C-alpha cells in the first residue's frame, strides 16, 4: 500500500478539484479527512487482525481478507467521484493495510526458517519504502 500511498497522495488535491468538484478552499479539509480515514482504519484494524490471527491460529485468512479489502478499496477509489466515496475507499485501504501487516509479518515468521526471516521481511516492507520515496 505504500506505493499506492506515495502515488495517490500527491495527485489527490488536483483530483478533488477536477474530478470531485471540491472547491479549492475545501481541498485541505477533504485531503486531511482522507488521510485521517486511512490512518484511523489502519489503527483500528491492525490490533483486531493480529488478535484474530492469534486466536484462530490461522494468519492466512486475515491476510487474504486484507488483500481482498485492498482490491475493493482501490477499485472504489478508482471510480469514486464523490468525496464520501473516496473516504469509504480510504477506510478500506487503511483497514487492509493494518490487516496485511499484522497478519503478514507473523505469517512470514511462522513459515520461513529463522535465518531467512529478515530477507523475507524485505519483500513485505520494500513496497512501502518505494512508495514513501516516490
The per-residue pLDDT for range 11-68, each reduced to its tens digit, is 889 999 999 999 999 999 999 999 999 999 999 999 999 998 888 888 788 888 999 9
pLDDT at 130: 64
Mean pLDDT of the chain: 87
Q: What is the rounded distance in angstroms from the CA atom of residue 35 to the CA atom of residue 68?
A: 21
Higher pLDDT: 123 or 66? It is 66
- Full-model pTM: 0.84
Q: Convert 13-39 to b/e letters by CB count within 10 Å (16 or more is b).
A: eebbeeebebeeeebeebbebbeebbe
Q: What is the mean pLDDT of residues 90-97?
A: 93
Amino acid at each position: 500500500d505504500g506505493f499506492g500511498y506515495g502515488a495517490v497522495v500527491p495527485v489527490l488535491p488536483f483530483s478533488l478539484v477536477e474530478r470531485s468538484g471540491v472547491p479549492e478552499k475545501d481541498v485541505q479539509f477533504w485531503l486531511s479527512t482522507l488521510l485521517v480515514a486511512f490512518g484511523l482504519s489502519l489503527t483500528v484494524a491492525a490490533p483486531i487482525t493480529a488478535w484474530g490471527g492469534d486466536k484462530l491460529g490461522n494468519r492466512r485468512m486475515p491476510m487474504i481478507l486484507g488483500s481482498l479489502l485492498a482490491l475493493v478499496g482501490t477499485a472504489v477509489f478508482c471510480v469514486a467521484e464523490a468525496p464520501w466515496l473516496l473516504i469509504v475507499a480510504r477506510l478500506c485501504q487503511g483497514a487492509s493495510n493494518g490487516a496485511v501487516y499484522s497478519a503478514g509479518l507473523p505469517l512470514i515468521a511462522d513459515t520461513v526458517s529463522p535465518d531467512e526471516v529478515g530477507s523475507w521481511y524485505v519483500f513485505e516492507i520494500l513496497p512501502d519504502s518505494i512508495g514513501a520515496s516516490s
